[in-house]
Amino acid sequence: MPGSSVNNHYDLIIIGGGLAGASLACALKSAALEEPLKIAVVEAYELNTESQPSYDDRTIALSYGSRCIFDSMGVWPLLAEQAEAIDSIHISDRGHFGVTRLSSEQEGVEALGYVLENRNIGQQLYRVMHESADITLFCPAELKSLQQDFTHPEGRVSVDVMVDGSTQTLTAELLVAADGNNSQVMKVLNIGSSRKDYEQSALITNVTPGKKHENVAYERFTDSGPLAFLPMTQNRCSVVWTLSPEQADYLYALDEADFLAQLQQRFGYRLGRIKKIGMRHIYPLFLQSATQMVHGRVALIGNAAHSVHPVAGQGFNLALRDVALLSELIVEQRRKAADIGSLAMLQQYETQRDVDIKRVYRFTDALVRTFSNSIPPLAHMRSLGLFMVDILPDLKHQLAVQSMGLNAGKGGKLSRLGRGLPL
């Protein structure tokens, strides 16, 4: 039976302590405020375990823009040693002549992006949260109820969470839902979502190639879907192979030798013979969008607000840009001694993020539809398109800007964190 209810008031409650929620807590912790924000982070799963979806064996292709955000937060030095730079991106269409190559040298940046393991990012964010006296982590904790008091003179949002068999009541000016595409907060608030099932699965694994990867990321489009090889530390590569669910199940069930033979045949020998393979995992692929990103004193970030296809590695980078803008707006409100959960501020957040999110939806969806189709005329057009991008500097630069997460949102400018400025 639950114990007695305990009341705790915070400035901000974050539901979800995965990568997006933890990043928001760490961003706000880095802000130079006269009085630090008091933050509660409520996480359903024990961290650093297989059950926590954000802390599993998958990797993230962190864009250059996201590295700037982490740098401005003061977190990048903790991640840098575990990151492998992407110096160039090689985009090709299997069986056709078109190729596009992007390079950090051409774009005048240190790297186009970086590859990190989810687990390593999560551990460092958890370390920052754990060392902060202003962040309280409730974990594992179950969200039982959520209420918004619109009659309270200062405005309040209240949640009941179950922790160690006891119900604790937490109140705050603002609640942020960072609890993924199966968001409990969205269910409680009856926030709808639109969903497009791609009828595809991502088969994820890590491999060791025979040749050095030389910090090149490969995006190879095949008749079954995109196949990405991303450079990792210790000369490993993260493999993201998009397949039909039936193909993914078939390949998952193969023994190691037969699976490697299939992967080798599909990717080719640019990296020599693949020598070693890690564990395989399968994830269904879909495009999902919440019908609203704010509801009263609640804001949605990350996969709770939007989930996209992994082609071009946009998902977590999109979430970090949510974090960067929302944290900037919260800090601005705090410095003015204004309400950090005000409707005007949250509407500003929703409006400014809308341009970037829709751009990424269109970009990833168009890539999936165009490059998961084996119709011969379309295949020839794809090849011509890749060739044209490769020889036209302006087109190539625009593709690089999108890949690096440097497209400005509404108003034509990046967030402070995205520009490398502290909050």
pLDDT, tens digit only, all 423 positions of the chain: 344 455 599 999 999 999 999 999 999 999 999 999 999 999 998 865 455 554 456 899 999 999 999 999 999 999 999 999 999 999 887 655 567 888 999 889 999 999 999 999 999 999 999 999 999 999 999 999 999 977 766 778 999 999 999 999 999 999 999 999 999 999 999 999 999 898 889 999 999 999 999 999 998 877 777 899 999 999 999 999 989 999 999 999 999 999 999 999 989 999 999 999 999 999 998 889 999 999 999 999 999 999 887 766 678 999 999 999 999 999 999 999 999 999 999 999 999 999 999 988 887 777 776 655 554 544 545 554 554 545 455 665 677 777 788 876 666 678 999 999 999
Rounded Cα–Cα distance for residues 58 and 64 (Å): 19
Tell me if 415 is assigned to some domain.
yes
d(CA 371, CA 360): 16
Distance between CA atoms of residues 25 and 45, nearest Å:
17
User: What secondary structure does DSSP assign to 291-336, as a single string?
Assistant: S-SEETTEEE-GGGTEE--SGGG-HHHHHHHHHHHHHHHHHHHHHT
Assigned domain for 324 exists: yes
190 lies in some domain: yes
Does residue 342 belong to any structural domain of this protein? yes
User: What CATH number has the domain bearing residue 367?
Assistant: 3.50.50.60
Name which of 362, 414, 422, 423 is nearest 64 in CA terms: 414
Q: Which domain holds residue 41?
A: 3-85+111-195+287-376+411-419
Cα(409)–Cα(359) distance, integer angstroms: 9
d(CA 368, CA 221): 9
Is 385 part of a structural domain of the chain? no
Give how many domains the chain has, as a whole number: 1
